Amino acid sequence: RNIVHASDRRAYEEAAKRLQLENAEREKIIPRLRVESRRKYLEKRKEDKVAELEADILDDEYLFEEEILTEREKKERLHKKELLKLAQEHEKARELERVQRYHMPRDLGKNSTSDYIEVDELEKAPQSEQKKWEKDQMASAVFKFGAKDASKGDEYELLLEDQIDFIQALQMPGSKDKLKKEPELTEVEMKKLTIEETKRSLPIFPFRDDLIQAVQEHQVLIIEGETGSGKTTQIPQYLHEAGFTADGKKIGCTQPRRVAAMSVAARVAQEMGVKLGNEVGYAIRFEDCTSERTIIKYMTDGTLHREFLSEPDLQSYNVMIIDEAHERTLHTDILFGLVKDIARFRPDLKLLISSATLDAQKFSEFFDDAPIFRIPGRRFPVDIYYTKAPEADYVDACVISILQIHVTQPLGDILVFLTGQEEIETCQELLQDRLRRLGSKVKELIVLPVYANLPSDMQAKIFDPTPPGARKVVLATNIAETSLTIDNIIYVIDPGFAKQNHFNSRTGMESLMVVPISKASANQRAGRAGRVAAGKCFRLYTAWSYKHELEDNTVPEIQRINLGNAVLMLKALGINDLVHFDFLDPPPHETLVLALEQLYALGALNHHGELTKLGRRMAEFPVDPMMAKALLASEKYKCSEEIVTITAMLSVNSAIFYRPKDKIIHADTARKNFNHLGGDHLSLLNVYNQWRDTDYSTQWCYENFIQSMKRARDVREQLVGLMQRVEIEIVSNINETVNIRKAITAGYFYHVARLSKGGNYKTAKHNQTVTIHPNSALFEELPRWILYHELVFTTKEFMRQVIEIESKWLLEVAPHYYKPKE
Ligand code: ADP
Ligand code: MG
């Protein structure tokens, strides 16, 4: 009866090992404590001394609190020890040779919702948690002992090679008034709803007239409502219907994310029965899908920020909605200050600030105590489960959890939060591989990815209704946290990480890293499971971790990223006194000063801090100031054609080289063929030019494991247009790579490092240790001086996209910044 074949098992183990190696890097970026306990966990696991290890973990956790234990904590500790004992017995009972790590509760437990248990309540009442846990464990222990009888219903035990055991720690209550009255919509019922019915079923619908009236009465309104209540899609339509566009002026709505702007615009066009780009359109960086007729315009916050340059009073808008305000992106934060200012001298402009969370009060205070319009939420309770011990590899853990849900839980779609495209692709491949091997033994599972670089027709697929009898699993970045609402999600899997930009204002270094999310994010994610029915959220971290390691809220972007771009834009808008700009939360002073210094060194500001002619031209480009400078410098070095291409390629960046897991070697060989010894920028140029020479052939991309080229071409076209606007002729100088590299250096002289002992590099200004990324063409070349495009922090600070330069160029291109050695 053992369905798992030995050969499959070996293949799986090999894959797992490979993945573990790849993930060793990722491992180390997790906060130290977590890594420590994880490492111990792994080592011990290998020796198969699971019980001991778990004791270790608990000891670790309590070391911190030993001296300051209160009565309650002592009780809690005792309780956890008991849990551990149970766990140990449980471990002994399991079949040793199977990597059956955890067990998932089998009943949906919907009936246990009679009394609400607040987030911390359960931890305060260890008895109830323990009882529940014991009950679960007993059930599974009994089940395991009896497994040899092959009683029916345990077939999945044999299907699944490994499982994860979750502990239900708490329940996120639903909205009390709705819980009993609201009948759960079954899948079939959901599908039968027409667009009109769907619109009427949204929580915002009963408040339509109140909302319109509130907008009529107040100039500024703060709107607060759960994700999925219909804020983004409905409010612009209501206002349009109420005549706010009658004079031909627009309703604008900003989104922090590109994907959201596109997808929501498409949805609203569909609801209104118009063609996307006509009455309803969207604008994102490098892409404008609007027309003269557009009256409802969705756009990214960055795009609106940019629109201020050409239309400082937003004259073409009657209403501006700053949506997803709680996301607190840099651009949204700056927009707050800009629109607040405009509202003062444009009393006819209506301003709506809409947010999914509890920040409404803060927004209201900022906007001179603007009234708050609350849309009562409609949420079903969500059971929250934690893993018993830290998961070493969360992508792997996701795959296991997905299969576990698929095999043991009633139908209902799954939403998984991963950190980026690469991870999503890995997860998708692992999952599809395992599904292939399971074949018809399990129901159909439709795997759909969604991330920013995914082509929009693929993105739209996540909204297609799931066919009867099948289950959908959406692998998403945190775009699905609040920006996009996918209906019918019942299960959420949350590994607890997201990708974030971090800026060190001391060293001026900015790097991209995977960091633990905040409690607020974790709860948003869990909330996605309770929109249409009671749901479950599986957190791939421990309850301890949640409580002690996650910050309460995510730090607003303005306080943690490089402000060069924002400062340049503000200066270009004529806002000179940045220190007194009306920020909701001001950026750290040093970050602001550093941005000013950088712009000065780039020549965008003069020594009075005023915008120069060069700075004004730089502000024309919707790219980082360093990139803008390189584009402008290409005029002097007569290689604008090449720099434009390189810029376009860098802007789609890591998405260019495709590495399917089953063809890694082929893909890597193909990639090496493009390598240019001058550096990675030139390799990217090679890729683009070869593709162009095949007349933009798709087949060529396929054969060379290259993707996202269409977007690169679109971006390139936009850039060519902008170059014309600043009157730079497009000229090619492909054989003079020194010129190309000098132009890049003119923008990126901040990002320069010099070879030091042991193959490491030290940054020129701050002597920070950095390393060339193994993917680079220069990885083994180790030139004396290099310039990097970006830093990515995984195990170390890796420089991604590097070129070789000569130190004397620095004196030539950045005399403000580099001085010759005395
Ligand atoms: P909110 O902004 O309050 O979070 P939305 O207006 O985004 O809510 O979503 C309201 C409803 O519209 C949801 O049920 C969501 O599933 C649906 N919806 C949004 N975008 C799309 C789309 N592109 N395709 C299908 N349905 C969509
Ligand atoms: Mg929304």
Lowest mean pLDDT among 71-80, 235-244, 720-729: 71-80
pLDDT at 297 over 50: yes
**CA–centroid distance, residue 227 to ligand 1 (Å):** 9
Pocket test for ligand 1, best of 193, 224, 267, 481 (most atoms within 8 A of CB): 267
Which is the closest atom of ligand 1 to the Cα of 225? 3
Please spell the DSSP secondary structure of 324-346, one letter per residue.
Answer: SGGG--HHHHHHHHHHHHHHHH-
Give how far the C-alpha of residue 773 lies from the chain's centroid of Cα atoms, to the nearest Å.
22
Interface predicted TM-score of the whole assembly (ipTM), two decimals: 0.98
Lowest mean pLDDT among 450-454, 463-467, 640-644: 450-454
Angle at 747 between CA 742 and CA 751, to 5 degrees: 95
Cβ < 5 A residues, ion ligand 2 = 232
Note the ligand closest to the C-alpha atom of 225: 1
Work out the pLDDT band at 75, boundaries 50, 70, 90: low
613 neighbors 566 (Cβ within 8 angstroms): no
The residue that leads in pLDDT, 522 or 759, is 522
Q: Is 228 in the pocket of ligand 1 (CB under 6 A)?
A: yes
**Phi–psi pair at 805, nearest 5 degrees:** -130, 175
- Per-residue model confidence (pLDDT) at position 157: 53
How far apart (Å, rounded) are the C-alpha atoms in residues 491 and 534?
9
| Ranges 183-192, 638-647, 708-717, 772-781, most confident | 638-647
How far apart (Å, rounded) are the C-alpha atoms in residues 186 and 657?
42
**CA–centroid distance, residue 224 to ligand 1 (Å):** 16
pLDDT at 172 over 90: no
Q: Is 225 in the pocket of ligand 1 (CB under 6 A)?
A: yes
Q: What is the mean pLDDT of residues 798-804?
A: 93
- Per-residue model confidence (pLDDT) at position 676: 93
Q: Is 264 in the pocket of ligand 1 (CB under 6 A)?
A: yes
Looking at the chain, the whole-number percentage of residues with pLDDT higher than 70 is 77
- Per-residue model confidence (pLDDT) at position 36: 44
549 neighbors 34 (Cβ within 8 angstroms): yes
Q: Whose CA is nearest to atom 22 of ligand 1?
A: 267
pLDDT digits (tens, 9 = 90+) for 341-358: 999 999 999 999 999 877
How far apart (Å, rounded) are the C-alpha atoms in residues 347 and 341?
11
Work out the pLDDT band at 72, boundaries 50, 70, 90: low
**CA–centroid distance, residue 213 to ligand 2 (Å):** 21
Angle at 657 between CA 655 and CA 660, to 5 degrees: 105
pLDDT digits (tens, 9 = 90+) for 369-389: 999 999 987 778 999 999 888
Q: What is the mean pLDDT of residues 50-79?
A: 53
How far apart (Å, rounded) are the C-alpha atoms in residues 106 and 83?
19
pLDDT digits (tens, 9 = 90+) for 199-227: 998 999 999 999 999 999 999 999 999 88
Tell me, what amino acid is at 425? E
Coil/strand/helix, residue 20: helix
Which is the closest atom of ligand 1 to the Cα of 264? 20
656 neighbors 687 (Cβ within 8 angstroms): yes
Lowest mean pLDDT among 159-168, 620-629, 657-666: 159-168
Work out the pLDDT band at 114, boundaries 50, 70, 90: very low
Q: Is 267 in the pocket of ligand 1 (CB under 6 A)?
A: yes
pTM score above 0.90: no
Q: What is the mean pLDDT of residues 151-160?
A: 50
Note the ligand closest to the C-alpha atom of 326: 2
- Per-residue model confidence (pLDDT) at position 483: 86
Q: What is the mean pLDDT of residues 433-456?
A: 88
- Per-residue model confidence (pLDDT) at position 384: 93
312 neighbors 573 (Cβ within 8 angstroms): yes
Q: Is 230 in the pocket of ligand 1 (CB under 6 A)?
A: yes
Angle between helices 680-693 and 664-674 (to 10 degrees): 90
Q: Is 614 exposed, middle or buried (0-12, 13-18, 19+ CB in 10 A)?
A: middle
How far apart (Å, rounded) are the C-alpha atoms in residues 232 and 238?
11
**CA–centroid distance, residue 483 to ligand 2 (Å):** 5
- Per-residue model confidence (pLDDT) at position 766: 82
How far apart (Å, rounded) are the C-alpha atoms in residues 633 and 746?
6
- Per-residue model confidence (pLDDT) at position 459: 85
Q: Whose CA is nearest to atom 21 of ligand 1?
A: 267
**CA–centroid distance, residue 558 to ligand 2 (Å):** 21
Query: Which residue, among 462, 486, 478, has the nearest Cα to 420 in the 3D structure?
Result: 478
pLDDT digits (tens, 9 = 90+) for 542-578: 888 898 889 998 999 999 888 998 999 999 999 988 8
Query: Which residue, among 791, 360, 326, has the nearest Cα to 554 in the 3D structure?
Result: 326
